């Protein structure tokens, strides 16, 4: 999320108002950003803000969410295209579900979007300059890399290790957990791609063992030929730590 310093700066520019209490309300650790997804929490929070700060408070509350969602959009754009271009940003498509079909707050939201557009370049520069954006972008890149590696490994699995759709979800989730635990425990050293690859492979092997996925009856002669002919594939099968009869 953008820093409160950034929220304060643009709250003063766009709304002529800012409030650390509203920032704290939205970023409460127990209900962080819940007002963006939970309609009841949204209404409770915005009614409180309205009763205490009036329309300017409501505008600032919605602007806080708008800037947070813009930051997420910028992370997504950078991850997908490798760069940020204002033409790729669709402010009209950024809107919390909780305000849809609520004419009162939709009008205020659209008014904020209109006021923000002329300042978009400056706001984008502010957001991407913050360490929070760089951390989010880095996390997204690593998550995408893990998902890609898991997909590649699962495609290469031999027929004797049947993987269902549920298994795929859990393997990806567990791999992410293992990778991020490793990163957290090794902050003192530089992260190597080989470290991530090893974590993912170990996670896959652990899952195969824990769920007894090896099925000898599904062994394929085609796989036998590949193991004997392709040394790289042979090493891959061996790394799975299964009782393959061809190794």
pLDDT of 191 over the 70 cut: no
Residues 138 and 224 in one domain: yes
Shared domain for 231 and 147, answered yes or no, is yes
Q: Does residue 72 sit within a domain? A: yes
* Threshold 0.75, pTM exceeds: no
How far is Cα 239 from Cα 203, in angstroms, rounded to an integer?
12
Question: Based on the domain organization, do 177 and 112 belong to the same domain?
Answer: no
Could you tell me if 8 and 122 lie in one domain? yes
Closest by CA to 180, choosing from 141, 154, 212, is 141
Question: Residue 193's pLDDT is what?
Answer: 81
Task: Please indicate, yes or no, whether residues 118 and 11 belong to a single structural domain of this protein.
Answer: yes
pLDDT at position 157 over 80: yes
User: What are 185-190's contacts with CB under 8 Å, separation 24+?
Assistant: none
In terms of domains, do 144 and 215 share one? yes
Would the pLDDT of 190 be above 70?
Answer: no
Average pLDDT value for residue range 155-161? 92
Domain that holds residue 47: 4-129
Orientation of helix 131-156 relative to helix 120-129, angle to 10°:
70
HEC string of 41-83? HHHHHHHHHHHHHHHHHHHHHHHHHHHHHHHHHHHHHHHHHCC
Q: What letters, b where the CB count within 10 A reaches 16 and e where it falls short, cover 88-118?
A: ebebeebbbebbeeeeebeebbeebbeebee
Predicted confidence band of residue 49 (pLDDT cuts 50, 70, 90): very high
Same domain for 180 and 104:
no
Q: Is residue 212 part of a domain?
A: yes
Q: Which of 94, 129, 164 is the last residue of a domain?
A: 129
> pLDDT over 70 for what percent of the chain?
98
Q: How confident is the model at residue 154 (pLDDT cuts 50, 70, 90)?
A: very high
146 within a domain of the structure (yes/no): yes
Q: Is residue 245 part of a domain?
A: no
Mark whether 136 and 207 lie in a shared domain: yes
Quote the CA–CA distance of 234 and 153 in Å, as a whole number: 14
Mean pLDDT taken over the chain = 90
Domain count, the chain: 2
Please report whether residue 17 resides in a domain.
Answer: yes
CA distances (Å), origin 38, targets 29, 41, 208: 15, 5, 38
Determine whether 242 is exposed, middle or buried from the number of CB atoms within 10 Å of its CB (0-12, 13-18, 19+). Answer: buried
Confidence category of residue 19, pLDDT binned at 50, 70, 90: very high
Residues 174 and 84: their CA atoms lie apart, in Å, by 31
Considering the domain architecture, whether residues 10 and 75 belong to the same structural domain is answered as yes
Last residue of one domain, picked from the residues 114, 129, 144: 129
From 59, 94, 129, the end of a domain falls on: 129
């Amino acid at each position: 999320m953008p820093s409160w310093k950034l929220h304060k700066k643009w709250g003063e520019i766009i709304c002529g108002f800012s409030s650390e209490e509203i920032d704290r309300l939205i970023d409460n650790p127990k209900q962080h950003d819940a007002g963006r997804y939970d309609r009841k929490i949204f209404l409770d929070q915005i009614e409180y803000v309205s009763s205490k700060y009036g329309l300017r408070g409501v505008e600032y509350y919605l602007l806080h969410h708008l800037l947070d969602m813009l930051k997420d959009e910028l992370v997504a754009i950078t991850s997908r295209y490798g760069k940020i271009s204002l033409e790729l940003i669709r402010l009209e498509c950024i809107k919390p579900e909780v305000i849809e079909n609520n004419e009162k707050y939709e009008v205020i939201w659209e008014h904020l979007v209109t006021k923000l557009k002329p300042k978009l370049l400056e706001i984008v520069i502010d957001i991407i300059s913050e360490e929070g954006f760089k951390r989010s972008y880095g996390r997204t890149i690593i998550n995408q890399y893990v998902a890609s590696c898991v997909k590649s490994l699962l495609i290469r699995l031999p027929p004797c290790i049947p993987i269902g759709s549920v298994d795929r979800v859990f393997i990806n989730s567990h791999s992410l957990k293992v990778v991020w635990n490793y990163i957290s425990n090794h902050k003192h050293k530089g992260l190597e791609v080989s470290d991530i690859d090893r974590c993912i492979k170990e996670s896959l092997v652990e899952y195969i063992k824990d769920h007894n996925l090896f099925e000898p009856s599904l062994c394929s002669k085609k796989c036998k030929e590949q193991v004997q002919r392709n040394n790289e594939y042979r090493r891959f099968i061996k790394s799975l730590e299964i009782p393959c009869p061809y190794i």
